[in-house]
């Protein structure tokens, strides 16, 4: 038994140093992943209710680590943010997502928008100019781009941030608030936020049929958004029951596993190239 105890504590120490080590080496790996182009994008379609043809898609970053397998963005994005690497990585995501969108349109997909996630850390004083440059280099119509930002960023609302956003909106870039409802912003503040799309967080959708509070929150968001002329996208739609309740509440756009998981670009194309319009 004593032997076993010693063994356990050894294992524990070992795990501890492993986890410290792994954090450090993950940051190094992130750097070399940039240089050796290990990142890829997955795309998840968004559907206007009742249509089989997705008109929008969200780009989601993927990191197939050579030794550890797929690492979730929830794990490496925070690391990319604290290390500052998210700036370069974020522009890579933007450029790649826009290029893919252009390619799909050439191939005949009827997509209208590509949505790209933007971390608050990315929005510095050169953000709008750099984005505008990238779009120009690609000959990409800014109206095709939607940038998803966090509710927290909108709430903190420094003039720097709103200037950057306004500059891009003036070009036609659309802004969405991601995970809406989780960031404690009051619905009344919505009126003054420089966005045109709200993405209802999946935590409200999950229990919409079982939890009256979630149901009421979604109802309030959809109603308020409607009166302000904002587009609402429900995230995390996983079942027909989710869809039907969201439809009853007047939500028009859907994204979730019920329709499709995020897919590699090729798979996305194969899936939707022959889809009828209606």
* Tokens of residue 226, six digits: 């409607």
Classify residue 72 as left (phi > 0), alpha (psi -120 to 50) or beta. beta
Q: Is residue 233 a contact point for ligand C2E (CB under 6 A)?
A: no
Q: Compute how many residues bind Ca ion; rule: CB under 5 A.
A: 5
Contacts of 273 (CB under 8 A, 6+ apart): 107, 108, 109
Q: Compute how many residues bind ligand C2E; rule: CB under 6 A.
A: 20
Q: In whole angstroms, how close is the CB of 235 to Ca ion at the nearest point? A: 5
Q: Judged by CB under 6 A, which stretch of 8-16, 111-119, 216-224, 264-272 contacts ligand C2E?
A: 111-119
Instruction: Name the residue nearer to Ca ion (CB basis): 29 or 101.
Output: 101
Q: Is residue 74 a contact point for ligand C2E (CB under 6 A)?
A: yes
Q: In whole angstroms, how close is the CB of 117 to Ca ion at the nearest point? A: 5
Q: Is residue 117 a contact point for Ca ion (CB under 5 A)?
A: yes
**Binds Ca ion (CB under 5 A): choice among 146, 148, 151, 214:** 148
Contacts with ligand C2E, residue ranges (CB under 6 A):
44, 60-61, 72-74, 77, 93, 117-119, 178-179, 202, 236-238, 256-257, 262
């Amino acid at each position: 038994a004593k032997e076993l105890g010693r063994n356990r504590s050894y294992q524990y120490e070992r795990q501890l140093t492993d986890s410290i080590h792994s954090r450090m080496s993950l940051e190094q790996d992130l750097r070399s992943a940039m240089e050796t182009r290990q990142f890829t994008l997955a795309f998840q379609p968004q559907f206007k209710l009742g249509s089989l043809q997705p008109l929008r898609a969200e780009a989601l970053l993927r990191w197939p680590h050579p030794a550890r397998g797929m690492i979730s963005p929830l794990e490496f994005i925070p690391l990319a943010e604290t290390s500052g690497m998210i700036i370069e990585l974020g522009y890579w995501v933007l450029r790649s997502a826009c290029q893919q969108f252009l390619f799909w349109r050439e191939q005949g997909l009827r997509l209208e928008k590509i949505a790209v996630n933007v971390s608050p850390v990315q929005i510095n004083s050169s953000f709008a100019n750099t984005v505008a440059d990238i779009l120009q280099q690609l000959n990409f119509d800014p109206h095709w781009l939607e940038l998803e930002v966090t509710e927290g960023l909108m709430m903190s609302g420094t003039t720097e941030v709103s200037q950057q956003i306004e500059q891009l909106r003036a070009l036609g870039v659309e802004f969405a608030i991601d995970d809406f409802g989780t960031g404690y912003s009051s619905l009344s503040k919505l009126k003054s936020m420089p966005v045109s799309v709200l993405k209802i967080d999946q935590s409200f959708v999950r229990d919409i049929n079982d939890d009256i509070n979630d149901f009421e929150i979604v109802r309030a968001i959809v109603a308020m958004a409607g009166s302000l002329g904002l587009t609402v996208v429900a995230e995390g739609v996983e079942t027909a029951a989710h869809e039907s309740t969201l439809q009853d509440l007047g939500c028009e756009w859907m994204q979730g596993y019920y329709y499709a998981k995020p897919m590699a670009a090729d798979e996305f194309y194969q899936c939707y190239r022959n889809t009828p319009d209606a």
